[in-house]
Structure formats: structure tokens, C-alpha cells
Chains A and B, each alone.
Chain A
Amino acid sequence: MTRENWIFAVFLAAVLAAACAAPFMVRPYSLEILIIFMINLILVCSYRIPAMTGDWSLSHVVMMGVGAYTTALISQQWELSILLTVPLSAIVAGIVGYIIVMPMIRTRGFGFFIASFAIGEFVRLTWVKFRDVFGGPRGMIGIPSGEIGAIDLFFPVPKYFFVLVIALICLTIMYRLGRSRIGSTFTAIYKDEELAEAIGINVPHYRALAFATGTFFAGIAGALLAHHLGAIDPKNFDINTMVYLIIWIVVGGSATFWGPIVGLIVMTFAFEWSRPLLEWRPLLFGGILIFFLVFLPGGLESLWGKIRDRLAPRGGGGEGPASSAAADE
């Protein structure tokens, strides 16, 4: 292993140790934030999968809602274990994602963005409209916290560890996916669509695949959210929530796997610190969004690359996990 890989492994171990120690060190309220943070972590990383092909969507939060509603429905209908509801919700969200991307695939870039907004809104409105099934505007309540064997996930600490394990599994899969052949194919489509087509990549197929994979993981996040909150309604998944997700991505950057995570961490702190200014928060976040798009379009991750260049001009080094930040864009 190269030196950078060692540093990375040590860093990862430290983060893991901190994550395992956290529930016994922090106040219950902070634990609550950590659980939400883990769920958002899955969401924000899953957003990057379709974004790798260049498809930025505005329906991702709605797809998370599909996972949440599926969980609510199946745990109301049958008393399934949480170990089944979560993957089932993910599969449903993946299938729904694959269906809705079919008309959207005809568009590219900005058109895709708008089409996903409208179609996502369509899915969300079905929850408002069909009261008998989805509870209408008031949403669904009484979703169980779930249990594994004898461990009741109602209590924060076991719930935290459950969400942590799921998040780690999802993040590992998404990380590996990004570096696999499929991930390279996605990036190739983004870099040069015509060239990708010319070397025999079925572009619509891979774009649909990327989108459905993204919604699959968004479905996992939604299922966890539903089990965690116990009640969901259509407002949880509206365009405002979606804009917050966009803010995480824009602040962090989307060129590497780590960008969205950095953005989420920074903005979670900003979110908590701005709690006294509750009604001014959208203004603050809107300002941050504009600031980053205008002055730092690559996000915080591009800053890392700039600092590296400043400290060690033309630094060689191995293909470290965070070193490709500046390479893109």
C-alpha cells in the first residue's frame, strides 16, 4: 500500500471508532441529529450516481419518499421485519425510478432537470390525491420503529447502530460502484456522450441504470427515515427539501465521492447553528447556495485541490482517494 492509502485507512478507522463511541458520549438530542445525518448521508451519496452521467434530477427527494411510503404501507399491511422492509422499499423505489426515467431520458441537462421536477411532483401528488391508500395531505402515521430479534430499535442507541451499519454498507457499495467499470462508464457518458456512444456504450441504458441505482439507495434512506420518524407526509418530500439536498451537493462539490459528504457535514453544522434564526434560515441557505455557485462552482472539494497545488506544485503522489478533486472540471 502506498503512503496515501495508509493515511486514508487510519483516517477511516478513526472515523469508525468515533462513530461507534459517539452514542455514549453525546446528548440524546445530538444522537437524534446523528441518526438523521446518517440517513442524509445515504441520500446525498446516492444523488451523485445519476449526477455522474451528468443527469442532475429534481425528483430525488420524491424517490426517497417512495421508499418511505413503501415502508409505511408494507409495515401497515404485514408485520414484516425491518430487515425486509428496508430492502423491499429500496427495490420499489428503484423500479419506480426506472419507470419515471423513461420519458425523462429523452431530455438532457437542463431539460432533464425540469422534466424530473415535474414528474417527481406527479408522484408526490398521487400521495396527496389518494387519501385511502396514502393518507392524503396528512400523510401516514404509526410506522413501527422495527426490531431485530430481541432488540427494539425504538431506543436511540440500537437505532443509531442499525442506521450506522446500513449507511456503511450503502456507502461502501456506492464507493465501489463509482470506481468499477460501470462507474467509469457513467463518467464517460458525462465527459463526452458522443464519444461514449461511438465506442459502443448504450447511453440511454446506462443513464437509466444510473438513475434507478440512485433511486434504489434513496429508497433505503426513505425507508430508514420512515422507521425513524414514525410518521410521514407529502410535505416532507417537497421541492424545498430537494433544494436543501442540492445545497449540500453544491457546497461540497460532486466531482468526487467525498464532495457531497463534506457538503453534508458542513451544512448540517450550519443548519444546527442557525436554529435560533429559524425563520431566516431559508434566506441564509439561499445566500450560501448563490455564493457557492457564483464564486466557488467546484464546491469545497475543489478548494482541497487548490490548497494541494499551492503547497506542493505538480505534486506526484499515488491515485489517492481525494486527489482527483481538482482533476475534474
Chain B
Amino acid sequence: MDLPTIIQTVANSIVAGSVYAVIAVGLAMAFGVMKMANFAHGEFFMVGAYTVYVFYALMGWPFPAAVLMAIPVVALLGVATERFIFRPTRENVLAGFMATAGLAFIMQVLVGQIWGVGLMRSVPTPYMGAMDLAGARVGWQRVIVIPSAAVMLLALWYFLRHMKAGKALRACAQDPETARLQGININRMTMLAMAISGALAGLAGALMAPIHPVTPYMGHSVILTAFIVVVMGGMDSIAGAIIAAVLLGFIHTFVTTLSDAVTAQMVGVACMAVVLIVRPQGLLGRVKA
């Protein structure tokens, strides 16, 4: 590999890592609060991309507005999922997970029937041109993913650390029973967690819409990666998810450049298996009592 290729690959790795981070943090967040494991998280990502397709490519809204629209749309989807799937199956993690697998089927069919299954929907690139980095060229469309992801994650961090609702959410994640005794409404907190989780997935999908092929089945490849990241990071650890996401972003991109995408997936899974053997609770996971 020559220098421009290396720079190019590093830049692509950071882009991939930040997208993985936004997706995986949403997944880890929902799992942290009341163990909601969402198999349809990849489909949330897909709906985010379709929101941009509808508002930007079909209706001609400005791109940033379309991206911002994806946040409430998918957040609402998250709230509905919490209310109708996770709340009734709260005492059984696997049941909620399997039911959301059914939800994933439903969403794929609905989106496919409304906007067509066959060819991918093309979302024109709003930001043409590329940034020149010592001989390597990185498209602006990819570059803007990095600050967008960073702003979103920083906002989440501020919310969780410094705002009352965020603190309540963390309390609920640590010990739901005690949190309830403090007067925290658990149902409202799980709803909030799913709204944030959905918003993050929707945002990631919206940002990726012009880069990633938009199809009803685009969530498939996302969900496996997201779960690898979350298991490596430690299931309910947000910081762990971010670290693992960046790590996996580099691994995936470098292996894809050197070999091919299938090998990259396999290496990712192998890394997860190693983490499971050496440190079953994940990189930053807490050991359960």
C-alpha cells in the first residue's frame, strides 16, 4: 500500500467507525435500559435512509432538513416498538428479541411494497466534490458523516451526564427497582431509551442514504455488524460500543481494501469470538453479579 491509499483507507475507516458507533450506541442504549434487544435496529436504519429518499430525493427538501426529519420519524417507530413489543415481553429478553425479528420482516415487506423491491432507490449526492488529503481524495459526503456522528454522540453524552432525564435514564439502567423507588417512571424511561435508540439508527441511515445502496434489505448487513460491536464493547456499555465501533471500522475497512468484503465480515466475527473467549463480558462490560 502506498501512502495515499493508506490515508484513504484510514479516512474511510474513521467514516465507517463513526457510523457503526452511532448505530451501535443506539443498540447498547436500549439494551442497557431494561434489556431491550432490538433485532429490527437494522430496519430502523433502513427507514432512516428511506426518509431521506422520500423528503430529499422525491419531495426536494434540502438535505439537512431531510436528515433531521429522519430523527423524529424513526424515534416514533422506536416508541411504538417499545409500547407494543418490548413492554409486554419485558420479563423475557429473548422473546422481545425474536418478536422484533418479526417486526423486521414486517418492515421489509411494507417498505418493499410501498417503494418497490427491485432496483435500489438512488439518492443523489447533495455534497459533490472531494477533500484532498495528501493525494487521497475523500468525498465531502463521507466527510460530513464524521462531525455529524460526533455531534450526536456528544449531545447524547451531555444529556446522559448533565440533564435530569438523562440521569434518570442511567439510574434506570443501573437498577430499575431502586430507580422506581426514587419516583422514576420506568415505562417513560424505556420509551425514552427506545426513542433515542431509534433516533440514532435513523440518523445513521439518513446520513448513509446517498452513499449506501437504499433497498428494503439494507438493514441486514447493518444488524450483524452492530451486534458484533455491541457484544465486543460489552452489551450495555456505551463507551465500550464506541471503542469497539471504531476498532471494527478500521478492521473492516482495512481487510476490505486488502482482501474483500466477505473476508472483512469473517474477520469481524472472529474478533468477536476472541473477545468472548478472553473477556466474555466485553471490553468495557461489567461482570454481572
A: residues with CB less than 8 A from B are: 56, 102-104, 106-107, 109-111, 113-115, 117-119, 121-122, 125-126, 128-129, 239, 243, 246-247, 250, 279-280, 282-283, 285-290, 293-295, 297
The answer to whether A297 and B92 have CB atoms under 8 Å apart is yes
Please give, as numbers and ranges, the residues of chain A lying within 8 Å of B109 by CB-CB distance: 279-280, 282-283, 286
Interface status of B280 (Cβ within 8 A of chain A):
yes
Q: Is B69 an interface residue (CB 8 A)?
A: no
Cross-chain contact B269 with A118 (CB below 8 angstroms): yes
Majority-rule SS of B interface residues: helix
Given contacts A125-B266, A294-B88, A118 and B99 within 8 Å (CB-CB): no
How distant is the Cα of A295 from the Cα of B110 in the complex, in angstroms? 23
- Are A117 and B103 closer than 8 Å at their CB atoms? no
With contacts A121-B269, A289-B105 known, what are 5 further pairs, Cβ within 8 A?
A: A118-B228, A118-B231, A129-B266, A295-B88, A297-B95
Interface of A is mostly: helix
Are B93 and A117 within 8 A (Cβ)?
no
Chain A: minimal CB distance from B120 (Å): 18
A114 in contact with B231 given A103-B273, A285-B102 (CB within 8 Å): yes
Which residues does chain B contribute within 8 Å of A246, judged by CB atoms? 98, 101
- B96: which A residues are within 8 A, CB to CB? 293
Q: B265 to nearest A CB, angstroms?
A: 6
CA A60 to CA B105, docked complex, whole Å:
19
Complex CA gap A282/B216 in Å reads 13
Footprint of A on B, CB under 8 Å? 35, 37, 84-85, 88-89, 92-99, 101-106, 108-110, 112-113, 117, 220, 224, 227-228, 230-231, 235, 260, 262-263, 265-266, 269-270, 272-274, 276-277, 280
Question: In this complex, what residue of B is CB-closest to A295?
Answer: B88
Q: Are A243 and B276 in contact (CB under 8 A)?
A: no
- Beta-carbon nearest neighbor of B93 in chain A: A110
Q: In the complex, A121 Cα to B113 Cα: how many Å?
A: 28
A239 to B217, CA, bound (A): 12
Q: Could you name 8 residue pairs across A and B whose Cβ atoms are closer than 8 Å? A: A118-B231, A119-B269, A122-B266, A129-B266, A286-B106, A289-B101, A290-B106, A297-B95
Q: Which residues of the partner chain A approach B263 to less than 8 Å between Cβ atoms?
A: 129
Interfacial chain A residues near B110, Cβ < 8 Å: 283
The answer to whether B224 and A117 have CB atoms under 8 Å apart is yes
**Are A109's CB and B94's CB within 8 A?**
yes
Q: Considering only CB atoms, which chain A residue lies closest to B228 in the complex?
A: A118
Q: Find out whether the CB atom of B95 lies under 8 angstroms from the CB atom of A118.
A: no
Instruction: For the complex, give the distance between the alpha carbons of A51 and B175 in Å.
Output: 29
Q: How far is the CA of A125 from the CA of B224 in the complex (A)?
A: 12
Contacts of A107 in B (CB 8 A): 276, 280
Complex contact A285–B105 (CB within 8 A): yes
Is B227 within 8 A of A289, CB to CB?
Answer: no
CB distance from B112 to the nearest CB of A (A): 7
Complex Cα spacing A287 to B104, Å:
10
Given the known interface contacts A293-B89, A297-B92, the answer about A110 and B276 at a Cβ–Cβ threshold of 8 Å is no
A293 to B84, CA, bound (A): 11
Nearest 9 A/B pairs, CB to CB: A286-B105, A289-B102, A286-B102, A283-B109, A282-B105, A106-B280, A122-B269, A293-B99, A286-B106
How many angstroms from the CA of A317 to the CA of B48 in the assembled complex? 57
- Are A111 and B105 within 8 A (Cβ)? no
Given A104-B276, A117-B224, A287-B106, does the pair A279, B112 have CB atoms closer than 8 Å? yes
